[in-house]
Amino acid sequence: MDKMMLIAAAAVAACMACKGKSEAPVVEEPPPWEFPGEEVAPEDIPENVEVVMNQPTIEGTLTDEAARSALRPQIEDLVRCYEVRLARHCKIKGHMRISIDVSQKGQILGMQVLSDTTRDTRLGDCVSKVIRKASFGETDEQSTIIVNYAFDPPEKIRCE
C-alpha cells in the first residue's frame, strides 16, 4: 500500500508541476466572409467594389471623430464581405442602418441592424461580425451610434 501511495503522490506532484504550463490549442476562427458550402474562386470576386459609410449619428459623449476612427478600419473587411456575396449573388445592393451601443470603456455592448434593404442575411451576418471587431475610445458615458452603410455594385459586374 505504501508503494501505491508513493506512486499516487508522485503523480499528483507531477500534475501540479505541469499545471498552467500546458496551453490549450488556439482555434482560429475563419474570416466572417467565408460561408461553409459557398466557396468562391478568387477569379469570381468582382473588382472595384465599394462600401460607403455615411455620417454616423451619436447619442452620448462619444465624438463623431472617435466613432469614425473606430469604424473606418472595418471598411476593408466590409468590402470583402460584399465582394464575396456579389460573387454568388451579383444583384445585391442596398443600405444597412446599424445601431451600436458602446460602453464608457469603448467596448461594444450590443449591436442591432435597424434596417437592411439588401435583404441578404449572409451579408448582414458578415457585416455584424466585422463591426463587432471595432474598438472605441473611452468616454464619460455610454453612447449609441447609428451608422448607415451603402452597398452598390460596380457597373461592370459579371452576372450569370
Q: Give 105-119 pLDDT, tens digit per residue.
A: 999 999 999 999 999
CB 118 within 8 A of CB 94: yes
Runs of H (alpha helix) within 33-92: 64-71, 75-88
Dmax of the chain from CA atoms? 83
Q: Which residue has the higher pLDDT, 121 or 25?
A: 121
Residue 2 half-sphere exposure, CB side, CA atoms within 13 Å? 0
Q: What domains lie within the chain, and their CATH numbers?
A: 49-152 (3.30.2420.10)
Which residue's C-alpha cell is 456575396?
A: 85
Q: Is the pTM of this model over 0.85?
A: no
User: Alpha carbon of 121 to those of 113, 125, 152: distances in Å?
Assistant: 11, 6, 16
Residue 5 pLDDT class (50, 70, 90 cuts)? very low
Mean pLDDT across 63-91 = 93
In angstroms and rounded to an integer, the radius of gyration of the C-alpha atoms of the chain is 23
76: confidence class by pLDDT, cuts 50, 70, 90: very high
Residue 124 reports pLDDT greater than 70: yes
Mean per-residue pLDDT of the chain: 85
